[in-house]
């Protein structure tokens, strides 16, 4: 029985294996036959269509804007120096860092004892010189009178001499009398010569006295100026900086005591490249007075000052490139010399130009425009300016056409696209406004009021902004970042 059971099992397995092999052979044969008799299947190809953003090119007059970074400077800065050496015996209360002073205000006084003594001596010498002048004048007057008297004596002697000659001619006079009269006349003439010499000496003495008086006056005036130099005054209204002295310190002549800065006459100095500089020249080759705005970002609030270009530097500067340009600012509240600002210069406007996104321009200087049946066409344009994320271009046939805003390697001439036309955003993330809760608004107000190093003009503007129903989100983020919140 056991042998029969194993034989039947083996027979069953052999039959099952042969059946499976037969089925597999039939399946393969059927597949080969179907493959040989069937026609090849070619899948249908469809054109790929890309979705692109497009904008309409509007040809108009655009004003290019040149951006650079500059530094605020004062057009009038004065070094306060001591003309004389000595001890500072008095300083004004405003003579400190950041002190506001007025024109003509007394700032400091140096010990005037030595200068006063020199002035007193000079005045005494001047009095002596005046006395000497008066005495010389009196001596001159006496010398003139003596000369007059001597001349009268000569005339008398000459008349006496002539009488003796007449008496001798009539036989009455004697020769001895004539000789005596002649000798007296000669002596009188000699006296006249002596008086003339005395008069000349008196006149020379007057001249010397006048010279001495003039010198004494010069010495007196110089001593007075030196006494006045002991008082240091402000040359104009401004703010003191770099104060290096205190009351009681011994200073030397020409030592710098502080800087006086005029905060109302500010200008901004900024450097541009040579191509940018050439765009700011007119047909005569001189620098145009282009409008300029300087912007300082403070706690999310932009301080802005406006002005015009005034001049450029005479030399490039060692190790520098480009050109250094100066622009005078009309009013600049909140700005201080040394502030690092962003400068925006308006260039001459460009007529018949189109403003497009910078991503729309290809490396070959072409843009893709929407053609017939929504197929792209490549159009060559002239790049006029780059303005941040935008460009200003000019091209024939560009006005009124729809331009692809973002290029990609998949796009090119002849490609069919699906245009997406989107309206311009009314506001940007920078112009977003927030409505603050009462607690959040109170924390921001308290933080701004507690900042000690913030300029008053900026603080006032920030407080007024925070009290509005809607507050700029950018400013709130800046303040909360400083708060650590």
Spatial neighbors of 449 by CB under 8 A, at least 6 apart, are 459, 463
Domain-wise residue ranges, the chain: 77-111+230-260, 114-228, 262-346, 350-421, 432-483
- Which own/partner contact pairs does 183-191 have at CB distance under 8 Å and 24+ positions apart? 184/157, 184/160, 185/154, 185/157, 185/158, 185/160, 185/161, 187/157, 188/150, 188/153, 188/154, 188/156, 188/157, 189/154, 191/150, 191/153, 191/154
> Mean pLDDT, 10 residues at a time, over the chain (485 residues)?
73 81 83 71 70 90 92 92 90 90 92 90 91 89 85 82 76 74 81 85 88 91 92 91 89 91 91 92 90 83 87 87 92 86 92 91 89 88 89 90 88 87 49 77 83 73 82 80 68
Q: What's 350-421's CATH class?
A: mainly beta
Total length of the chain: 485
What is the C-alpha end-to-end distance of the chain, expressed in Å? Answer: 94
Domain 114-228 adopts which CATH fold? Helix Hairpins (1.10.287)
Q: What integer pLDDT is reported at residue 411 of this predicted model?
A: 87
Q: What integer pLDDT is reported at residue 430 of this predicted model?
A: 44
- Its pTM surpasses 0.75: no
Where does 249-399 have alpha helices with state H? 274-278
Q: At which residue do the structure tokens 């006084």 appear?
A: 109
Q: At which residue do the structure tokens 């006249």 appear?
A: 192
Beta-carbon neighbour count of residue 401 at 10 Å? 17
Q: What integer pLDDT is reported at residue 477 of this predicted model?
A: 80
Which overall architecture, per CATH, does domain 262-346 show? Beta Barrel (2.40)
SS3 470: strand
Which overall architecture, per CATH, does domain 77-111+230-260 show? Beta Barrel (2.40)
Q: Tokens standing for 415?
A: 């490609």
Q: Tokens standing for 233?
A: 């005054």
Q: What integer pLDDT is reported at residue 277 of this predicted model?
A: 93
């Amino acid at each position: 029985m056991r042998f029969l059971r194993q034989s039947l099992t083996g027979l069953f397995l052999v039959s099952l294996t042969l059946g499976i092999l037969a089925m597999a052979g039939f399946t393969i044969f059927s597949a080969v036959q179907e493959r040989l008799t069937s026609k090849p299947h070619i899948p249908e190809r469809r054109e790929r269509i890309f979705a692109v953003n497009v904008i309409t090119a509007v040809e108009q007059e655009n004003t290019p804007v040149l951006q650079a970074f500059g530094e605020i400077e004062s057009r009038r800065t004065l070094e306060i120096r001591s003309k004389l050496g000595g001890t500072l015996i008095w300083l004004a209360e405003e003579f400190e860092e950041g002190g506001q002073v007025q024109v003509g205000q007394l700032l400091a006084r140096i010990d005037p004892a030595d200068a006063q003594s020199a002035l007193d001596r000079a005045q005494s010498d001047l009095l002596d010189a005046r006395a000497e002048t008066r005495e010389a004048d009196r001596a001159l007057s006496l010398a003139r009178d003596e000369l007059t008297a001597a001349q009268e004596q000569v005339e008398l002697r000459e008349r006496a001499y002539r009488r003796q000659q007449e008496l001798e001619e009539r036989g009455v006079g004697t020769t001895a009398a004539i000789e005596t009269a002649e000798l007296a006349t000669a002596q009188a003439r000699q006296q006249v010569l002596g008086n003339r010499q005395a008069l000349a000496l008196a006149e020379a003495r007057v001249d010397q006295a006048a010279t001495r008086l003039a010198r004494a006056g010069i010495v007196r005036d110089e001593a007075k100026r030196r006494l006045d130099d002991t008082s240091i005054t402000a040359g104009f209204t401004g703010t003191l900086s770099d104060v290096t002295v205190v009351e009681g310190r011994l200073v030397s002549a020409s030592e710098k005591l502080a800087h006086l800065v005029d905060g109302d006459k500010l200008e901004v100095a900024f450097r541009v490249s040579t191509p940018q500089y050439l765009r700011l020249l007119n047909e005569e080759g001189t620098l145009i007075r282009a409008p300029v705005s300087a912007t300082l970002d403070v706690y999310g609030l932009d301080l802005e000052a406006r002005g015009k270009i005034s001049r450029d530097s005479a030399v490039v500067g060692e190790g520098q490139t480009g050109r250094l340009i100066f622009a005078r600012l009309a009013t600049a509240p909140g700005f201080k010399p040394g502030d690092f600002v962003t400068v925006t210069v308006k260039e001459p406007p460009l007529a018949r130009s189109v403003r497009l996104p910078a991503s729309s321009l290809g490396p070959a200087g072409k843009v893709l425009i929407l053609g017939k049946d929504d197929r792209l066409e490549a159009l060559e344009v002239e790049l006029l300016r780059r303005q941040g994320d935008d460009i200003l271009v000019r091209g024939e046939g560009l006005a009124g056409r729809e331009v692809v805003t973002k290029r990609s390697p998949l796009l090119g001439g002849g490609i069919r696209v699906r245009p997406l036309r989107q309206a311009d955003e009314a506001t940007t993330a920078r112009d977003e406004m927030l409505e603050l809760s009462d607690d959040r608004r109170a924390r921001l107000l308290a933080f701004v009021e507690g900042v000690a190093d913030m300029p008053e003009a900026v603080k006032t503007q920030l407080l007024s902004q925070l009290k509005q129903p809607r507050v700029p989100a950018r400013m709130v983020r800046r303040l909360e970042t400083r708060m650590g919140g």
